[in-house]
Amino acid sequence: MLLSGVIIVCFSSGCRTDFSFRPVKSSELRFSRDTVYLDTVFTGISSSTYTLKVYNITDDAVSIPSISLDNGENSNFRLNVDGMSGKSFLDVEILPKDSIYVYVETTAAIAKLTSEKTQFLYEDKLHFADVGKVTLLTLVQDAVFLYPEKDSEGLKEAIPIGIDDNGNTVGIEGFYLEDDELIFSNEKPYVVYGFMGVPSGKTAVFEAGARIYFHKNSGVIVAKDATMLVNGQPSADPIALEGEVIFEGDRLEPLYDFIPGQWGAIWLTQGSTQHQFNHATIKNATVGILMDYNDETPNPTLTLKNTQIHNSSAANLWAKTAHVYAENTVFGNAGQLSFYGNLGGKYIFNHCTFANYWNNGFRSTPAVLLDDYVRLNDNTDIIEPLEEATFNNCIIEGNQLVEFYVDKVGTGAFNFKLNHTALQFENSSKAITENPFFDLENNTFYNQIIRNATPAFVLPEENDMRISQESDFILKGDVNIQVPVDLAGENRTSPPDLGAYQHVIIED
């Protein structure tokens, strides 16, 4: 049966093997593009592979006498032509009305290209004999690379993070920053391999405009008595975001703009203290920020202002018995939770937007979850009180029926309140309708709730959580909550709109 199928294919196509190849002539080749743009690459790091297709538009079998680069063997581009790797090729054949693939990659060291600039637009020409040419372009970006060292046995540095059941130290691949590495400026981007640790008693400062790129399984660990300060500033250009401090993965191709889970987390460990994030964007992590416990002072251990955390594969902010204050902050799409207030804690959110329109897979968790326990392997619980969870002039929305949930196991305090807040909440089960925590008429927990209304976000699937003129949340805020300027730097009205942004006018 298989043989007869092969015979049918051969008869239908002719299965010719007697082609006579002649040299290609001018205008007989067509190219899928006249310029191959390889997106920005960091110095010394290989790019992705890009594709060029070359078509023989004639009814004859043709041969391209030569395919070569202007810079020859010295070119920073690498080629694979119809399965052959190299930088120059002879007598490349294409059958009638057929095509070949040319694959292009690059690795370039900026120090060999310029001694003055931190970016260099590198160009070469790919010649197809004298009948056609294609331009190859890439932007090479200088960077500061931070990574764990290897010892004499080839083992990489590790940061201790705990003790296992046998009393052995458990570590994670990473390194502690030296004193002269604790200031992150905007002069060059930083590329991080492994977890970079802020040592005990030290402060890492991220200046306005700093760009931090993390490789897979990388992130930040802030040790006991250490601090992380992110000092971003408002940006005049909403595209360039020149004042923003941005934490993201190290793949710069547009394909990776919305791929979650490209790197690990910013882990603010137990005993770390006085963290402040202002005008920061944290995207495409596994967990955006893990705030582990609090510093046992009256002040917030973590303060977030004018910050966006989105597209985390697990949670944007996971706070465990933490003390957090946030304003003008967006907790956007996430694979599980936009905000997880776990194992009690104390939280105040003013003019924040929690909006989870995750579309990269199935999500069974709400945008916001509060609980007071952690269940151990032996089925016992560690319980801590929820001292406070206040949401003033906030938006809690998403693409599920219930986007706010509370789960109390202990007998201690469990205090939360939603004040002048929009809420996506459809009673969907008996467990919800019979739970007094979900009685939206109970003023102990809820005041001036706008339920199941229209948020009219601009582009929620891409984490643009501005509300438009069609929103039901305009002028619905509590005038007593004083955050006079929104995340975009616009003055708030009185009464203000809900969420991190005043509404914008979107033209049809």
Query: pLDDT tens-digit profile of 347-397?
Result: 999 999 999 999 999 999 999 999 999 999 999 999 999 999 999 999 999
Buried b (16+ CB within 10 A) or exposed e, 306-337: bbbbbbbbbbbbbbbbbbbbbbbbbbbbbbbb
452, pLDDT greater than 90: yes
Mean pLDDT of the chain: 94
DSSP 412: S
pLDDT given at position 274: 98
2, pLDDT greater than 70: no
- Of 292, 281, 375, 267, the residue nearest 332 (C-alpha): 281
pLDDT given at position 19: 81
**pLDDT (mean) for 83-112:** 97
Q: What is the rounded CA–CA span in Å between residue 54 and residue 259?
A: 30
* pLDDT-derived band at 154, boundaries 50, 70, 90: confident
Distances in whole angstroms, Cα of residue 303 to Cα of each of 54, 306, 323, 478: 55, 10, 9, 22
14, pLDDT greater than 50: no
Under 8 Å between Cβ of 291 and 313: no
Residues facing residue 345 across a β-bridge = 322, 386
pLDDT given at position 196: 98
Cα dihedral: 69, 73, 78, 84 (round 10): 90
pLDDT given at position 498: 98
Give 310-358 pLDDT, tens digit per residue: 999 999 999 999 999 999 999 999 999 999 999 999 999 999 999 999 9
Q: What is the rounded CA–CA span in Å between residue 287 and residue 336?
A: 10
pTM: 0.91
pLDDT given at position 165: 85
Instruction: Measure the CA angle with vertex 411, ends 291 and 272; round to 5°.
Output: 20
pLDDT over 70, % of the chain: 96
131, pLDDT greater than 70: yes
pLDDT over 90, % of the chain: 90
pLDDT given at position 155: 87
* pLDDT-derived band at 153, boundaries 50, 70, 90: confident
**Burial class of 109 by CB neighbour count within 10 A (0 to 12, 13 to 18, 19+):** exposed
**pLDDT (mean) for 96-110:** 97
Give 195-234 pLDDT, tens digit per residue: 999 999 999 999 999 999 999 999 999 999 999 999 999 9
Contacts of 240 (CB under 8 A, 6+ apart): none
Give 26-76 pLDDT, tens digit per residue: 999 999 999 999 989 999 999 999 999 999 999 999 999 999 999 999 999
pLDDT given at position 398: 98
**pLDDT (mean) for 137-149:** 96
pLDDT given at position 18: 67
**pLDDT (mean) for 174-198:** 97
* Cis ω for the linkage preceding 495 (within 30 of 0): yes
Give 293-306 pLDDT, tens digit per residue: 999 999 999 999 99
**pLDDT (mean) for 415-424:** 98
Q: What is the rounded CA–CA span in Å between residue 175 and residue 206?
A: 18
Q: What is the rounded CA–CA span in Å between residue 171 and residue 173?
A: 7
DSSP 43: T
Give 469-484 pLDDT, tens digit per residue: 999 999 999 999 999 9
* pLDDT-derived band at 421, boundaries 50, 70, 90: very high
pLDDT given at position 4: 42
436, pLDDT greater than 50: yes
Structure tokens that stand for 113 in this block: 């290209």
pLDDT given at position 16: 55
Q: What is the rounded CA–CA span in Å between residue 267 and residue 175?
A: 14
* Count of positions (residues) in the chain: 508
Higher-pLDDT residue of 3, 480: 480
